[in-house]
């Protein structure tokens, strides 16, 4: 569950413009505990004086506008798609959509038409972690191992490389430390996940 919780957090950070409720949640203890398990001191990546309006303004400038600081949140933009809005479907977009369809994953709105959005891809990994843990708990180790394999496959084919490029661009263009720091932490987590998945396979599969 811890892995799923971390993916859920980053899906929320990069998938939606912040609201007042989300900022209140950021200041709460449960979220701090999740990040503490990753060795992250939350007060170092979030200024308590930052308002939801400030975060939303920054989010829009980075991920929803096409100005000088626009940082595309779509994987296909970095793999030859050339589009910045996420409205066009390229081979990358279709590959990602097929990965979801094979495992019956459906992204929440507003991304139903944009499957290669960073928030959706991270949310997909969250769902796979939950399904792996559930299968293992129910004694279905073969199914848990299968889902573990799908995590590693998606990591290699899409998420890891995408996150590396995405993070570099966020670090270059973001003005608020909140997005710069979270992008760096997310990338570090994803890279550690790649190592975890490879090592778990070597040991014989899912251990949830």
| 70-104 per-position pLDDT tens digit | 999 999 988 865 555 555 678 888 899 999 999 98
The mean pLDDT of 35-40, rounded to a whole number, is 67
pLDDT (0 to 100) of residue 2: 82
In the predicted structure, residue 112 carries a pLDDT above the cut 70: no
Closest to 201 in 3D by CA, of 140, 134, 156, 145: 145
| 176-198 per-position pLDDT tens digit | 888 998 999 899 999 999 999 98
pLDDT (0 to 100) of residue 45: 58
| 114-152 per-position pLDDT tens digit | 899 999 999 999 999 999 999 989 989 899 999 999 999
CB contact set of 160 (below 8 Å; sequence gap of 6+): 190, 191, 194
Residue 74's SS3 state is strand
Buried b (16+ CB within 10 A) or exposed e, 83-112: eeebeebbebbebbbebbeeeebebeeebe
Domain over 2-202 is classified CATH 1.10.10.10: no
Sole residue written with tokens 């990069």: 14
Residue 117's SS3 state is strand
pLDDT (0 to 100) of residue 73: 93
Q: Name the maximum alpha-carbon separation found in the chain.
A: 52
pTM: 0.89
């Amino acid at each position: 569950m811890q892995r799923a919780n971390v993916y859920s957090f980053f899906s929320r950070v990069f998938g939606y413009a912040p609201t007042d409720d989300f900022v209140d949640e950021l200041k709460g203890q449960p979220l701090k505990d999740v990040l503490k398990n990753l060795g992250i001191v939350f007060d170092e990546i979030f200024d308590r004086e930052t308002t939801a309006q400030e975060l939303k303004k920054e989010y829009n400038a980075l991920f929803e506008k096409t100005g000088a600081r626009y940082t595309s949140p779509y994987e296909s933009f970095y793999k030859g798609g050339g589009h910045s809005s996420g409205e066009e479907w390229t081979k990358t977009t279709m590959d990602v959509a097929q990965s979801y369809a094979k495992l019956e994953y459906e992204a929440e709105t507003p991304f139903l038409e944009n499957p290669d959005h960073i928030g959706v891809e991270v949310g997909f990994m969250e769902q796979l972690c939950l399904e792996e843990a559930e299968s293992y708990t129910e004694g279905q180790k073969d199914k848990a191992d299968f889902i573990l394999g799908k995590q590693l496959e998606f990591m290699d084919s899409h998420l890891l490389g995408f996150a590396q490029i995405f993070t570099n661009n966020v670090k270059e263009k973001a003005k608020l430390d909140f997005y710069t720091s979270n992008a760096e932490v997310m990338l570090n987590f994803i890279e550690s996940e790649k190592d975890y998945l490879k090592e778990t396979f070597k040991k014989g599969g899912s251990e949830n």
